[in-house]
Chains A and B, each alone.
Chain A
Amino acid sequence: MAYLDIKDLSFIYPDCSDKAIDGVSLSIERGEFVVLMGATGSGKSTLLRLLKPELRLNGDICGEVLFDGEDMSDLTPEKSASQIGFVGQYPEEQIVTDKVWHELAFTLENLGADRDTIARRTAEISAFFDIDSWYRADTSSLSGGQKQLLSLASVMTADPGLLILDEPTAQLDPITAARFIDAVYRLNRETGITVIISEHRSEELLPRADRLLILEGGRVIADGSPRSVARELSSDSPYISYLTSAARIYKAGSNIGEPALSIREGQRYLSSFDNKIRSLPDACEHKPAEIALELKSVFFRYERDGADILSDLDLTVCRGEVFALLGSNGAGKSTAALVASGLRKPYSGKIRLFGKPLKDYKNGSLYKGNISLLPQDVESVFIRDTVGEELKGCEGVISTIPYDLTDLFDRHPYDISGGERQLVALCKALATQPQLIIMDEPSKGLDVNAKAQLADIVLVLKDREVTVLLISHDVEFAAMCADRCAMFSQGRIAACEPTERFLSGNRFYTTAASRITRGVYEGAYTVERALKLISLNGGKT
């Protein structure tokens, strides 16, 4: 008997005719590391929620789920709480208490554990996750990555046998996300815990996972080891983009031999070509243009006695370009966005927008047609009960966006997917017809396809002569649409170059495609560019 046995499981939401989960049968063995992928709305979250009694949503459930030989609906709340751990997407909201140690103790407190047990488990867990140095901290002082690690750790105190993770790193920057996934992987290898994780981060996950499931319309359409799934997917399948860059390069190429998954395997695969042509003919010239936004030796801090968040920041964005400011979470990029948009005043330095100092824009004229900001938390934008009302007055903008939002008009802004929410908020931010828009982490929480769509929209804006300043930790996203990239670190810009040179110049903070092609090709920073080069070198694409 398998550890988790799902037999012909179907689920229908109330007032809905379509099955959200449609006849899923799976058996998962103890200790397996399972990755679940699928587009937004394919039923990933719904399926994961059906695996934990407390999180089951209202609706009709058919079929059965056996957990350790016991029917899921007969599971006692204690057994469910202690045996099935769940970590979701939102770092901030999952945390219940105000102190780290209390959060760690929370699960065991609920289970009525005595003092000694709690003391021992929290000590063990904090050593395992290396939480000791912030054990006594306030939960509000933690970074997003620490919050997610804390959520994972606090679930682990009850010593569960099954760990369910629903897009746990969607809100994290790539390096923090990799660290989180490392921790999950370590748990799986060192304690034998069974892991089911839904995630978009294939680069870190697929080379290590035992099994990959792809969900489409509530059905499992692919099930097997990541390598075999990579082999079996047809090369025109939309799910190719879910695979790692190495696998995508492999799929588009020869498709013989073992599929490459990791960066190393990708490099090995590339070396099978003779690679005489090393770079693409340079199409785009960076032409000097009028300066749109200029920050000159800007210094900023939040508190009088605090540390400088921006220290000697110089930044120049030209009119009509897409400029990406990259850096890890907590580096101060969002602060830079607030200062650049005039919402916070620097204590030293100059900021000019289209040649005019920010403070010379009087009576709010700054935010009426000149500059606009798409904030990181798009919830802070929505005021109305439906998307339609929300977008009143934005009709001109909606028509410019190559995506149909009218279907969403009757829904509540909180009930639509993350990608759609981002688009609605973007429309609102564009309503004043700004000449420059600052987007703060626009690709956060989006899957590969939604990201590509957003990148297209950014390019449409660029065609319309709107200057775009992207603030992002997402290198892959910047590679899709930015003209120039800058690396933000220690309150200032450490490097600023055209995207191609920037991404090939960086060793660590760069795209997977760039890492695979390093030393072989130049400027192959996206899978598409790499594929072009392979085909120029005689590879079949």
Chain B
Amino acid sequence: MRRFEQMNPITTAFYYLCVLGVTMFSMQPVILCISLFSSVLCGVLDRSAGRRAHIFSAVLFIIAAVINPIAVHNGSTVLFYLNDRPFTLEAVVYGIAAACMITASLYWLRSLSKAMTSDKVMYIFGRFSPKTALIISMSIRYIGLFRLRWRKIQDSQRALGLYDDGNLIDAVRGRARVLSILITWTLENGIVTAESMEARGYGSMRRTSYSDYRIHTADVALTAVFTVLTAFTVAGLTNTSAVYYPDLRFSLFTPWGIVGAASFLVLCLLPPVINLRQYRTIRGARLA
């Protein structure tokens, strides 16, 4: 078995679509807890979240959880009054749930951007529209190029004594000049790129889009598993209810609710499990 990140990009993208979709569109506490726990676990394991990301997330969690009860005064259980405004239990719980949702989504997005490299995004677009894929690839290249040239122009202009940032007006004027040079330079060079494309047959025929990725049986099978698990989760969500205002009214552990939560837990933990299996196989190979 390959690692989860080595699966076909469509499978990977579909996975994140499922997990993020469930996380972002449900305010059901059990699902959110599972999502938060697994997203942190995945983030740590795939190294998409480092120490700084954890600190940032913790701060964000606290802010999100605190802001809601300060701003929202709905709910019937008043805990105390703050500046003559009610501070309610319902708003506190809702705040925590929302904080869970936001934090979990961010962790999933970090994993997503780590797993979906530009090659993979290109592959997915290339299957639908080879031209779009090319535009994405060229854009990625140009962003880097712009940044590099901006720096070069700034240096040149500064060394010519033409770039002051002593006061605000000069600084703005200097940047405007850098931008103007950048645009001229890029447009002029764009001609060379366009010629290079044409010389290599761009536009002469229907383009194909090449990629190293293949679709394996495992990719299809995994996509099917994701679909089934997500379907169970959604079924679970529709058969449970979580009402926050005016009173907390949860009905979470219905039979479908339990099936849904279990399915979601399996879905969330699939990547680490798959990677663990691959890790073991490779370690075995080394010892043997």
Question: Which residues of A are in contact with B by a Cβ distance under 8 Å?
Answer: 52, 54-55, 76-78, 80-82, 86, 88, 90, 92-99, 101-102, 105-115, 118-119, 122, 138-140, 151, 154-155, 158, 338, 341, 343, 363-364, 367-368, 371-373, 375, 377, 379-383, 414, 428-429, 431-432
Shortest B287–chain A CB gap in Å is 29
One of B33-41, B186-194, B247-255 at the interface: B186-194
Interchain CB contact (< 8 A) of B210 among A90, A118, A364, A383: A118
Are B160 and A428 in contact (CB-based, < 8 A)? yes
The distance in angstroms between the C-alpha atoms of A363 and B198, with both chains bound, is: 49
The distance in angstroms between the C-alpha atoms of A98 and B121, with both chains bound, is: 13
Are B159 and A113 in contact (CB-based, < 8 A)? no
Question: Which residues of B are in contact with A by a Cβ distance under 8 Å?
Answer: 118-119, 122, 130, 134, 137-138, 140-141, 144-145, 148-149, 152-153, 155-161, 164, 166, 177, 180-181, 184-185, 188-190, 192-193, 195-210, 212
- A78 contact set on B, CB distance < 8 A: 201, 204-205
- B195 contact set on A, CB distance < 8 A: 54-55, 88
Are A107 and B181 in contact (CB-based, < 8 A)? no
Q: 7 smallest A-B Cβ distances: which pairs?
A: A81-B201, A77-B204, A373-B159, A367-B161, A93-B192, A110-B201, A105-B210
Q: How many A-B residue pairs have CB under 8 A?
A: 170
Are B197 and A96 in contact (CB-based, < 8 A)? yes
The distance in angstroms between the C-alpha atoms of A240 and B19, with both chains bound, is: 72
Residue of A nearest to B214 (CB): A115
Are A380 and B152 in contact (CB-based, < 8 A)? yes
The distance in angstroms between the C-alpha atoms of A375 and B160, with both chains bound, is: 10
Are B159 and A367 in contact (CB-based, < 8 A)? yes
- B193 contact set on A, CB distance < 8 A: 93-96
- B161 contact set on A, CB distance < 8 A: 364, 367-368, 372, 432
Residue of B nearest to A86 (CB): B199
Shortest A417–chain B CB gap in Å is 15
Are A154 and B200 in contact (CB-based, < 8 A)? yes
Are B212 and A372 in contact (CB-based, < 8 A)? no
Shortest B101–chain A CB gap in Å is 34
Shortest B145–chain A CB gap in Å is 7
Interchain CB contact (< 8 A) of A54 among B148, B177, B199: B199
- B199 contact set on A, CB distance < 8 A: 52, 54-55, 81, 86
- B181 contact set on A, CB distance < 8 A: 379-380, 382-383
- B197 contact set on A, CB distance < 8 A: 96, 106, 110
The distance in angstroms between the C-alpha atoms of A138 and B159, with both chains bound, is: 30
Residue of A nearest to B188 (CB): A414
The distance in angstroms between the C-alpha atoms of A68 and B278, with both chains bound, is: 55
Residue of A nearest to B182 (CB): A380
- A93 contact set on B, CB distance < 8 A: 189-190, 192-193, 196
24 pairs from A and B in contact (CB 8 Å cutoff): A77-B201, A78-B205, A81-B201, A88-B196, A93-B193, A96-B137, A96-B141, A97-B137, A97-B138, A110-B197, A110-B200, A110-B204, A110-B205, A111-B201, A111-B204, A151-B196, A155-B200, A338-B155, A372-B159, A375-B155, A377-B149, A380-B155, A380-B185, A381-B160
Shortest A345–chain B CB gap in Å is 13
**Supplied contacts A98-B118, A106-B202, 4 more A-B pairs, CB within 8 Å:** A109-B209, A110-B205, A343-B155, A379-B188
- B137 contact set on A, CB distance < 8 A: 96-99, 102
Are B185 and A54 in contact (CB-based, < 8 A)? no
Given contacts A93-B189, A367-B160, A382-B184, contact A112 B205 (CB under 8 A): yes
